[in-house]
Amino acid sequence: MNFKAMTAMAALLFAPAAYAGGADDDTLIVNDEIEMVTKTAAPEHLDGALDQIISGWHFRADETQQLQTDDFENQGMIFVDQAMDTWNTAEGSEDKSCADCHNDPAESMKGVAATYPKWNEEAGELRTVQMQVNDCRESRMGAEAWKYDAGEAINMEAMIASHSRGMPVDVAIDGPVAEQWEKGKDIYYTRYGQLELACASCHEENYGNYIRADHLSQGQINGFPTYRLKNARLNGVHSRFRGCIRDTRAETFPTGSPEFVALELYVKSRGNGLSVEGPSVRN
């Protein structure tokens, strides 16, 4: 927060409802080299809904923001390191490791996180990064699939995401995935639970406002998997969806369910143009 923001806040003391906790104007540069696009024009399909898309990074306190600017202080990177060990470890009946086929992830996984969830032509289904990893484990390594959003799966997703940092999110929403994208959009605008809240109720209509003591962001997922200070580990997109729907006092969909895969595609497409930040740091 700069001096201007401070004076703006002082002014806001007289009108607290108007802009409380809105996005700040800071710039995110990671390791002094990766310049992130954290605010940009909304993609076309959001016409009428949002003009500008803003990374969740802007809605966090300065201290939290700073943790993400250096890989050493970003504790999400600890899990990326652990995933690197897993990457090089042979497993399963084929006794193969990820590295045996994909070599150096800095090369082979570059840009992957920017385009997933993605249609897999061979399997005829929409796949998230974790689904793709599990398919590799089962069909090529002869290893057991990982549980969705758990330990090693989320670490691996973070490691893969880390090699796309700074690249713009660019998921396809047409062609074979159009139907699922529509389904995701339906879920986004459906009011769930006793509180009758849709994703849009908070993240489209009220971002920047307070929800209890916290600021609502636009609910962008360009920074996932996210290292959260509150639980000191990486959090997956589907787990976050679960948490949100649970908070509306509804029964949620399970992680890895077709509903959440569709919702992930839709929500990710709302961030088309923002930089991939994963693993990001949030509170």
Active-site positions?
244
Least Å from the CB of residue 261 to another protein: 29
Least Å from the CB of residue 143 to another protein: 20
- Catalog residues that contact another protein under the rule CB under 8 A: 72-73, 75, 78, 81-82, 232
- Closer CB to another protein, 85 or 95, in the complex: 85
Least Å from the CB of residue 78 to another protein: 5
CB-CB contact of 215 with 59 (8 Å): yes
- Closer CB to another protein, 18 or 229, in the complex: 229
Give the pairing of strands 226-228 and 280-282: parallel
- Closer CB to another protein, 155 or 255, in the complex: 155
Sign of CA dihedral 150, 273, 181, 215: positive
Least Å from the CB of residue 25 to another protein: 27
- Closer CB to another protein, 91 or 170, in the complex: 91
- Closer CB to another protein, 3 or 72, in the complex: 72
Least Å from the CB of residue 68 to another protein: 15
CB-CB contact of 221 with 268 (8 Å): yes
- Closer CB to another protein, 17 or 232, in the complex: 232
Sign of CA dihedral 259, 114, 137, 280: negative
Q: What are phi and psi of 177, to 5 degrees?
A: -95, 0
CB-CB contact of 255 with 199 (8 Å): no
Least Å from the CB of residue 167 to another protein: 26
